[in-house]
Structure 1
């Protein structure tokens, strides 16, 4: 028993002396999990479970504090629990970051969401910003806490439960609020009673707003490895014949266009995506496509569009989006007279 007591004590002291070490470890584990998740390796699932368990641990921190003292003889102070909260938030943000960096379209509002994760991860590492600026403002700190929880749930649900991107987003928004509620007493220890319902209302409004802006949230479980436009597809080889970035209206109407895509997804995940055709930023068509996860090169499939507007001249886009409207990737082409 004394061995475990010494081990826990050493871990606590090491993390307090080298808080940046955890951020490096969390980021590396996120990279490793991102690589392994497509094969549904147990390593990535174990890390996902540990992250979720760590949040549950924080929810029952008062009970845990007494049990640790009884079991190991280690008195866990409130200051340590505040450090533990910072540690779990830091671990969650840095773990999720590689997933979002890999799928973000930086010429899209998705860049704002991923940049926000980067900013929050940076704040979680810098103690003067975290304790002297953020932690002193209970409302901002609670929103920060809720956001870190939302981000990690959004990543872990597809890994553990094979939920679709749309399902994961909805469940993550609701679960983050529910899991934040038991922590409000610790996050706002001396707040007046009316602040709690007001803060819950604020979190609900922010979640509803994020749902309305869900196209800004990168689909962490999916990644577009290739998208090509062509007049033909080699069905046996399951690949496009040629690539088109510009064509005239005659070729467009006579031959139509194939939109060929390869989308990587975790093994066991079945997802419906859409090819959305836009002319001068106006939606012209929306074609459904079912994909299956687990393929090393991504699930290769295509749609064939033959019906185009009479006046098709202009700048076109083909966007690959989820059922909830989250952008996976896109390609552009131009139609001339």
Structure 2
């Protein structure tokens, strides 16, 4: 049997199996996504391979129509639409269930970041349920475009620091630019005719999406940075890099005696070097912003602390130390209270 006929028969058989057992696609996407996250966490050497595979699958997804037409024109291989449709769904599922554990860990749930992570969770649920994905999402062009761009953006936020050791600000900016550029063909499809109005509207719409993404960066968790341990303490052991007694409340006299340490152990990908900030706030007002340089790769997280001495005379009230990236994304928060 010629190669062309064998491939056509293989595609047709795959199409029949998918139509007969549609739930297996969802199950495979879910399991492979979770397995990828676990492998990244357990074996740092596989992290780049898995992240690169995720990006390669998205490259295929972006070129899907061009590849399908090229195969049909040059080789006469006609890939059935059901196969392409289910492969697209599987890429969405694998991507979402690979990145959601990262965002679940890194989200500060009592902040606006919870909204972004919940939206990703809803998107993952939609990708699993065929009636929602095919009958509600796919026919609505705007909604599907937003779904597609959001998933790609989240994948890039997770993969770029792992593969290229980009800092959080660099990863965010690159992810936003790439997602907007790759969304341009889809934005073009929103306009039935290509004229001067659509030539202005497409880049303008892309610029609005990019600006909204940059302004809203504080609502997006840093996908590959999270806190393994935190403590507010009055003493630090420099040799063991361990905090002393952990405090939730202290008196004003104790505070002014020797100051206070904010200790954080931050998990980061191997090879990543990042500048973060401890932002000290008193009753919601920022009083200090202290920089720290961290390096990734340590299983227990990179242990670092700031020691603040210059507290105001009237220091009573609620304090918090927000752990922030240079891009303004919050990694986590420490809270304590100062009494009379």
Identify whether the pair has TM-score above 0.5, normalized to the shorter chain: yes
In the other structure, the counterpart of 1:272 is 275
User: 1:52 & 1:14 partners in 2: Cα distance?
Assistant: 27
CA shift for structure 1 position 15? 4.8
CA shift for structure 1 position 154? 0.8
In the other structure, the counterpart of 1:155 is 158
CA shift for structure 1 position 134? 1.9
CA shift for structure 1 position 172? 0.5
Query: In the alignment, is residue 224 of structure 1 matched against residue 227 of structure 2?
Result: yes
Classify the secondary structure of the residue corresponding to 2:41: helix
Name which of 10, 35, 41 aligns with 2:41.
Answer: 35
CA shift for structure 1 position 258? 0.8
In structure 2, do the counterparts of structure 1 residues 272 and 207 end up closer, same or farther at CA, with 3 Å as the change threshold?
same
Name which of 257, 261, 266 aligns with 2:264.
Answer: 261
Q: Contact 1:143/1:203 (CA < 8 Å) preserved in 2?
A: no
CA shift for structure 1 position 98? 1.0
In the other structure, the counterpart of 2:32 is 26
User: 1:14 & 1:157 partners in 2: Cα distance?
Assistant: 35
Q: Which moved more, 1:292-301 or 1:60-69?
A: 60-69
CA shift for structure 1 position 204? 3.0
CA shift for structure 1 position 12? 5.2
User: 1:296 & 1:311 partners in 2: Cα distance?
Assistant: 40
In the other structure, the counterpart of 1:191 is 192
In structure 2, do the counterparts of structure 1 residues 111 and 15 end up closer, same or farther at CA, with 3 Å as the change threshold?
farther
Classify the secondary structure of the residue corresponding to 2:320: strand
User: 1:252 & 1:80 partners in 2: Cα distance?
Assistant: 65
Classify the secondary structure of the residue corresponding to 1:303: strand
Q: Contact 1:318/1:330 (CA < 8 Å) preserved in 2?
A: yes
Q: Aligned Cα RMSD in Å? A: 2.5
Q: Which moved more, 1:219-228 or 1:174-183?
A: 174-183
CA deviations on 1:273-317 (whole Å, 9 max, x unpaired) are 111111111111110001000011111111110011121110000
CA shift for structure 1 position 4? 7.3
Q: Contact 2:15/2:80 (CA < 8 Å) preserved in 1?
A: no
Q: Contact 1:219/1:326 (CA < 8 Å) preserved in 2?
A: yes
Q: Contact 2:321/2:334 (CA < 8 Å) preserved in 1?
A: yes
In the other structure, the counterpart of 2:140 is 137
In structure 2, do the counterparts of structure 1 residues 334 and 13 end up closer, same or farther at CA, with 3 Å as the change threshold?
farther
Q: Which moved more, 1:143-152 or 1:17-26?
A: 17-26
CA shift for structure 1 position 7? 6.3
CA deviations on 1:30-67 (whole Å, 9 max, x unpaired) are 4224413xx6313x222211221122212322332145
Q: Contact 1:230/1:257 (CA < 8 Å) preserved in 2?
A: yes
In the other structure, the counterpart of 1:234 is 237
CA shift for structure 1 position 8? 6.0
CA shift for structure 1 position 87? 2.5
In structure 2, do the counterparts of structure 1 residues 276 and 6 end up closer, same or farther at CA, with 3 Å as the change threshold?
farther
User: 1:316 & 1:95 partners in 2: Cα distance?
Assistant: 36
1:1-337 alignment runs, 5 A limit? 13-16=16-19, 17=22, 18-36=24-42, 40-42=44-46, 44-69=47-72, 74-184=77-187, 188=190, 191-193=192-194, 198=201, 200-337=203-340
- Between Structure 1 and Structure 2, how many residues are aligned? 332
User: 1:316 & 1:173 partners in 2: Cα distance?
Assistant: 34
User: 2:262 & 2:7 partners in 1: Cα distance?
Assistant: 58
CA deviations on 1:222-280 (whole Å, 9 max, x unpaired) are 11001111111101111011111111111111210011110011110001111111111
CA shift for structure 1 position 5? 7.1
CA shift for structure 1 position 121? 1.1
TM normalised by structure 1 equals 0.89
TM normalised by structure 2 equals 0.89
CA shift for structure 1 position 152? 0.6
Classify the secondary structure of the residue corresponding to 1:213: helix
Q: Which moved more, 1:58-67 or 1:163-172?
A: 58-67
In structure 2, do the counterparts of structure 1 residues 167 and 14 end up closer, same or farther at CA, with 3 Å as the change threshold?
farther
